[in-house]
Chains A and B, each alone.
Chain A
Amino acid sequence: MDGDRPIIQVRDLRKSFGSVEVLRGITIDVSPGSVLSIIGASGSGKSTFLRCLNYLERPTSGEILVDGEAIGPSTAPNGQRTSGASPRDIARIRSKLGMVFQQFNLWPHMTVLGNVIEALIQVKRMPRSEAVDLGRRFLVKVNLLDKKDEYPAKLSGGQQQRVAIARALAMQPKVMLFDEATSSLDPELTGEVLEVMRDLAREGMTMLVVTHEMGFARDASDRVIFLHDGKVEEDGTAAQVFGAPSSERCQRFISSALS
């Protein structure tokens, strides 16, 4: 049975910023090897949802299980804490989730290779030579080995984002989270990043992708959810959600996004 267990389980996830409730009870299971795209208008809570999964945002209540393990102190609907993960546990679970950010967030004081191997050395305690070998392998994967000694500032946005993907992949995570990975790129640079993401999907990486790229959501994902106002409003295969959405709002969103 273990093989069929969802890699991520989310139960009634809620998040408020002050008096504003951004996530209003999200329940979802993600099966291993699947690609889930999360679409919705800005302010619908897509990014907050993704950031709760690796605890960069602290959920107000609800439960998140990564690979069967609760991340962070979970809270039952009555406000009672049900379990508590220590900072060390949170860090360990985070390392199973690779995250790619809209703003890349490469470290400008380290070379490309330095960025990729830093967490291998600091978190996985890997000897430097081993980390360098692994780092080079992942730079080959994103086709940037020739830039390994450059500093991030010398690279284009698309190249920076590919380095960020290699950095996350080098930790050999079980799931990759993409938080609007192409939104801050010039249109002519989104293609190279989407190509790397499509390759990963084909290789069977489990991916949660918050995106405005409707083409990617439609062609590359197994499942698409449409968030509205902090709730899942539409949930189905790409064909269902793009072909025949049951919610009128989702229909309008998709037709305006595709036009």
Chain B
Amino acid sequence: MFAALHNAFDPALFWEYRVALLTGLLQNIIIFVESAVLAILLAFVVGIASLSRHGAVRWTAIAYAEFFRNTPEYVLLVWVYFVLPLIIGTALGTKVKLSPHVAAVIGLGVAYSGFLSETVRAGLRSVSYGQTESALSLGMSGFTALRRIVLPQAVRRMLPEAVNQLVSLFKSTTIVSLIAVQDIMYQVSMISVAEMRPVPLYTGAALLYCVVVILATQLFQRLTERWRRRGWA
């Protein structure tokens, strides 16, 4: 039984390849941060647009959110990596090639902007219209009311849901090895081939991932504790 357990998780093997594994994990973290920034920026634009008074703007935003929410991120990733360069290339009349890294950031970024824009939209709608009305009645423009009064409250209410989405995004970064980004899963599969012992490394990668996510969410909880105490998030 001990042998079986040892086969499932072998700290020594894991330690031996620590540099390769941590370099891989760092790749995941970099891709996560870049695609999260892209996703959040797009989500605010799309989320705000989806509540626009103008029908054309509103429907475009809703269509965007629906499309990206309902398309698997794996398909998007492959599409951005293989198909998008062909389209751009044809349009420009030259050969275009996206690096796996850029394709991964774009693919994951747009995929998650769909989910996050729904969170932004729900957060904005949760702030009562009276808040905007009191701002307008004092002579603020609609934009100032949004920026100073509605968004700060909406963002705090979005946080719990947004954190869930970002945890999902971080976990999704493991699929980027499919387009040959040298992330942790890529490293694990390479080493597994060399060592001919896949089980302990995959177990180690799973644990490593789990630890990173738990630490990051705990850190986040601590940082936003003050807001929660005042009942804002």
- A residues with a Cβ closer than 8 A to B are 54, 56, 87-88, 91-92, 94-95, 97-99, 101, 103, 105-109, 118-119, 122-123, 151, 153, 164, 167-168, 171
Contacts and interface: CB of A to CB of B under 8 A. Distances in A.
Contact of B133 (A105, A106, A151): A105
A119 B141 CA distance: 10
Nearest to A153: B231
Interface stretch (B71-79, B144-152, B185-193): B144-152
Interface string B217-233: 00000000000001110
Given A107-B149, A118-B148, A99 B134 contact: yes
B51 to A, nearest CB: 18
Given A56-B133, A94-B137, A101-B130, A122 B153 contact: no
B232 A123 contact: no
Contact of B134 (A91, A107, A151): A107
Nearest to B134: A105
B131 interface: yes
Nearest to B147: A122
Nearest to B139: A95
B130 A122 contact: no
A122 B148 contact: yes
Contacts of A109: 152-153, 156, 232
Contacts of A88: 141
Contacts of A168: 137-138
B56 interface: no
B210 interface: no
A171 B138 contact: yes
7 contacts: A56-B137, A94-B137, A99-B137, A108-B232, A119-B138, A122-B140, A123-B144
B102 interface: no
Given A91-B140, A101-B134, A105-B130, 19 more contacts: A56-B133, A87-B141, A87-B142, A88-B141, A94-B137, A98-B137, A98-B138, A107-B131, A107-B134, A108-B153, A108-B232, A109-B156, A118-B148, A118-B149, A119-B140, A123-B138, A123-B140, A153-B230, A153-B231
B230 A151 contact: yes
Interface of B: 128, 130-131, 133-142, 144, 148-149, 152-153, 156, 230-232
Nearest to A107: B149
Contacts of B128: 103, 105
A87 B134 CA distance: 16
Contacts of B141: 87-88, 91
A122 B144 CA distance: 8
A98 B133 CA distance: 12
Contacts of B156: 109
B107 to A, nearest CB: 35
Contacts of A56: 133, 136-137
Contacts of A118: 138, 148-149
Q: Which 6 A-B pairs have the closest CB atoms?
A: A95-B139, A105-B134, A119-B138, A99-B137, A105-B130, A123-B139
Contacts of A108: 153, 232
A122 B135 CA distance: 10
A168 B152 CA distance: 21
A84 B106 CA distance: 45
A105 B134 CA distance: 6
A92 B136 CA distance: 10
Contacts of A107: 131, 134-135, 149, 153
A105 B131 contact: yes
Contacts of A164: 134
Contacts of A95: 138-139
